[in-house]
C-alpha cells in the first residue's frame, strides 16, 4: 500500500515521528509560511536550551520538513511544504480506504437476515 507513495516506510516513520512532538509541530508551523527563521530566533521562543531546539530542528530536517542553510553566522530554517503535502496525501489515501471499508460493512449489516434453522 505505501509503495504507491514517493516515500519509503522509513521516510514515513521519520516524518510522523517528527510530527508527533508538539514543539516540532510548532516549529514547522512557524517556518512553513514561506518565512525563514534562524535557529537562535526559534530557540528564544521556547523554554528550553538552544541545544534542545537545535536537536528538534535536526529531527525535522532529517524528516524533510525543514531545511537549514547558512546566512552569515546564522543557520536559517525554512519549511518544506512539499514534504507535508506528501504526509497529507498518505493520510487522505488511508482515510479513503477506511471509508470504503466502513461502507462495505454498512452494506453487509444492512442486508436482511435469514431466519436460522434450529
| Domain CATH code at residue 58 | 1.10.10.10
In a domain, residue 114? The reply is: no
Task: Outline where the chain has alpha helix (H).
Answer: 9-19, 22-31, 39-44, 50-62, 81-110
The predicted model scores a pTM of 0.75
In a domain, residue 18? The reply is: yes
For the chain, percent of residues with pLDDT exceeding 90: 53
In a domain, residue 118? The reply is: no
Q: Grid coordinates 507513495 are at which residue?
A: 5
Strands 74-79 and 36-38: antiparallel
In a domain, residue 63? The reply is: yes
Number of domains in the chain: 1
Q: Which three cell numbers stand for residue 94?
A: 488511508
The whole-angstrom separation of Cα 106 and Cα 102 is: 6
- Asked if 76 contacts 69 with a C-beta cutoff of 8 angstroms, the reply is yes
pLDDT in tens, 12-45: 899 999 999 999 999 999 998 767 899 999 999 9
pLDDT score of 1: 42
Query: Which domain does 59 fall in, by range?
Result: 2-107
In a domain, residue 60? The reply is: yes
Q: Grid coordinates 521519520 are at which residue?
A: 14
Amino acid at each position: 500500500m505505501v509503495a504507491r507513495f514517493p516515500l519509503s516506510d522509513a521516510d514515513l516513520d521519520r516524518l510522523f515521528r517528527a510530527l508527533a512532538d508538539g514543539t516540532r509541530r510548532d516549529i514547522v508551523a512557524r517556518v512553513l509560511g514561506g518565512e525563514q527563521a534562524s535557529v537562535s530566533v526559534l530557540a528564544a521562543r521556547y523554554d528550553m536550551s538552544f541545544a534542545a531546539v537545535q536537536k528538534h530542528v535536526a529531527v525535522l530536517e532529517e524528516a524533510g520538513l525543514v531545511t537549514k542553510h547558512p546566512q552569515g553566522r546564522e543557520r536559517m530554517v525554512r519549511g518544506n511544504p512539499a514534504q507535508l503535502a506528501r504526509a497529507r496525501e498518505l493520510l487522505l489515501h488511508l482515510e479513503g480506504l477506511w471509508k470504503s471499508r466502513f461502507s462495505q460493512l454498512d452494506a453487509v449489516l444492512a442486508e436482511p437476515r435469514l431466519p436460522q434453522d434450529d
